[in-house]
């Protein structure tokens, strides 16, 4: 079954955050998600950083200007802020908690100035893709994103101009996005990202969503997908009892035990890495496990030292 069919019904049990995804300013997004301890970009950060370090070594630092990341479902540039400026989610929650939502020009002027004063990884370019055009505009205008694509690849083809922007990327990342996007989006991306060396795909996926259809699309293009067995990465607290019940049922429906979710009252994600077959051979998964040890909000084997 394509993932689009099963994801739609699973999504029905989740709180609808659509109202905060496409604002002129990132404040409402952060202020709302802080209340549910949204934390997956923080949990993902050591893994993304570790992968970038590995890719840097393999690809001699990357092309001109360093490595290029395509962040799928980039929103306002959250993962870009974590990776380019080394922010934590706590830093970002603190920064965006300074008042009401501002008009776009005012938000950009203030936030561009703020990010411009931070130490930036000059060897990293982050291109964002999100259907939320205003969020992408904010990300580009503030400098968090080096470029962006506002598109919904579930419903529309990727334009040639946008395909040019994502060309040559080394790593495709996502947090909190699979479930909104399905194998349809990945089919389009992988067909356009065929320059050598090809990118790796690093996706954090809520346990209630099946990843098989996406892995199959990538396998057809010569990729090997492996799941990091053991660690579960905290995404956010359930917003209400309905979410908790629906998530528990959805997780059980696919044959998994929702004990961790129910015990901690949170959604948890798993990590999937897809690499071209030859590169997967030379990449032991233990490397991922050691980076997961550094992550915050991890349950299971890799998280035992960081409850």
Ligand X SMILES: C[S@@+](CC[C@H](N)C(=O)[O-])C[C@H]1O[C@@H](n2cnc3c(N)ncnc32)[C@H](O)[C@@H]1O
Site of interaction with ligand X (CB under 6 A): 21, 40-41, 73, 75, 78-79, 130-132, 135, 152, 154, 175-177, 180-181
Strand 147-150 versus strand 124-130 pairing type: parallel
Nearer to ligand X, 37 or 279 (CB): 37
Q: Among 260, 273, 265, which Cα is nearest to 304's?
A: 260
How far apart are CB 223 and ligand X at their closest, in Å? Answer: 20
How far apart are CB 70 and ligand X at their closest, in Å? Answer: 12
Residue indicated by tokens 């798993």: 270
Is the CB of residue 62 less than 8 Å from the CB of residue 68?
Answer: yes
Nearer to ligand X, 58 or 134 (CB): 134
How far apart are CB 282 and ligand X at their closest, in Å? Answer: 29
Q: How many CA atoms lie within 13 Å of 265's alpha carbon, on the beta-carbon side? A: 8
Is the CB of residue 112 less than 8 Å from the CB of residue 143?
Answer: yes
Q: Among 133, 142, 103, 291, which Cα is nearest to 202's?
A: 291
CA-to-CA separations, 204 to 29, 73, 102, 106, 139, in angstroms, rounded: 20, 12, 31, 33, 21
Nearer to ligand X, 46 or 73 (CB): 73
How far apart are CB 121 and ligand X at their closest, in Å? Answer: 19
How far apart are CB 34 and ligand X at their closest, in Å? Answer: 12
Nearer to ligand X, 178 or 302 (CB): 178
Is the preceding peptide bond at 197 cis, omega within 30 degrees of 0? yes
Nearer to ligand X, 82 or 251 (CB): 82
Nearer to ligand X, 149 or 251 (CB): 149
How far apart are CB 281 and ligand X at their closest, in Å? Answer: 30
> What are residue 231's phi and psi, to 5 degrees?
-70, 140
């Amino acid at each position: 079954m394509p993932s689009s069919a099963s994801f739609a019904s699973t999504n029905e049990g989740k709180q609808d955050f659509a109202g905060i995804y496409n604002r002129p300013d990132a404040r409402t997004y952060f202020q709302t998600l802080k209340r549910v301890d949204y934390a997956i970009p923080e949990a993902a950060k050591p893994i993304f950083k570790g992968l970038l370090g590995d890719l840097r070594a393999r690809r001699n630092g990357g092309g001109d200007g360093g490595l290029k990341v395509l962040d799928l479902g980039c929103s306002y540039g959250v993962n870009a802020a974590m990776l380019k400026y080394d922010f934590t989610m706590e830093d970002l929650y603190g920064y965006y908690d300074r008042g009401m939502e501002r008009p776009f020009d005012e938000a950009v002027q203030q936030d561009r100035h703020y990010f411009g004063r931070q130490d930036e990884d000059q060897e990293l370019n982050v291109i964002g893709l999100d259907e939320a055009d205003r969020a992408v505009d904010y990300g580009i205008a503030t400098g968090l994103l080096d470029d962006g694509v506002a598109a919904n690849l579930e419903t529309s083809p990727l334009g040639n101009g946008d395909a040019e922007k994502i060309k040559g990327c080394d790593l495709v990342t996502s947090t909190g996005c699979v479930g909104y996007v399905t194998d349809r989006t990945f089919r389009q991306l992988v067909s356009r990202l065929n320059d050598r060396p090809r990118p790796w795909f690093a996706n954090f996926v809520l346990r209630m969503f099946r990843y098989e259809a996406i892995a199959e699309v990538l396998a057809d293009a010569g990729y090997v997908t492996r799941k990091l067995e053991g660690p579960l990465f905290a995404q956010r607290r359930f917003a209400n009892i309905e979410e908790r019940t629906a998530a528990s049922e959805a997780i059980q429906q696919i044959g998994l035990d929702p004990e961790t979710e129910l015990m901690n009252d949170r959604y948890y994600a798993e990590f999937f890495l897809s690499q071209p077959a030859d590169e997967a051979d030379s990449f032991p998964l233990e490397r991922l496990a050691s980076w997961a040890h550094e992550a915050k909000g991890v349950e299971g084997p890799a998280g035992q030292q960081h409850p």
